[in-house]
Homo-oligomer: A and B are copies of this chain.
């Protein structure tokens, strides 16, 4: 009963609405499955990433299959986002306002820089790649595709977005992602260090990108209320991004980020 009281008073402060544990859990499962893209995710991995018990995850996943929200792949037995999710998504206008606003900037920066450009948004505790432009140089980093979803903090885009938010909030998100960092061979301390460095620099950077031998630079894009909503990233083979060129590229990205902020602000 004390618990009830404290939950009640806390609600007005932040927002933990009670009476829907199961729904929240189902959504947590869906977000993990989304990170698995077309290939899906094995049950055990979902259990690990969500911290739920196996019977619970099993039950949730199978109900979602019955409902058409999740699919199971024949041979591998992995679970993936189902057909009905894009069907629900059709209810919304596509592309999003952000994508429309960012389009000219991506175009401009892409021709100017020549390497691959990404537009990445924040969604919950993840980053999600929503747009990509391939540059004109013969060697391009193509491994990150539209739809790629990662824990905030493991990519330069994630670091940039974390750097753009208040430090306590960033720390909370990083802590929440702790379990998922292992799969990317990083940890809370490393990520927080990169975030601090990005704040000092004014942009996110990873000398060692997620793909071997690549380097990435990301600037953040804030919504009018000051919350970071997205990041703009350039990825290239490391040798193409020495200190001098890093400076050049960062300046272009910073310029375009400000333009996009204007576009979504008006």
- A20-B59, A23-B22, A60-B23 known; A86 vs B94 contact (CB < 8 Å): yes
List chain B residues, Cβ under 8 A from A187: none
* Contact A124–B68 (Cβ < 8 Å): yes
* Contact B86–A81 (Cβ < 8 Å): no
Residue in B27, B37, B128 whose beta carbon sits within 8 Å of that of A69 in the complex? B27
* Contact A128–B90 (Cβ < 8 Å): yes
A interface majority secondary structure: mixed
Q: Kindly state the separation between the CA atoms of A205 and B36 in the bound complex, as whole angstroms.
A: 42
List chain B residues, Cβ under 8 A from A96: 83, 86
* Contact B36–A91 (Cβ < 8 Å): yes
- A23-B23, A63-B17 known; A89 vs B91 contact (CB < 8 Å): no
Within 8 A of B (CB), among A50-89: 59-60, 62-64, 66-69, 80-81, 83-89
List chain B residues, Cβ under 8 A from A30: 88
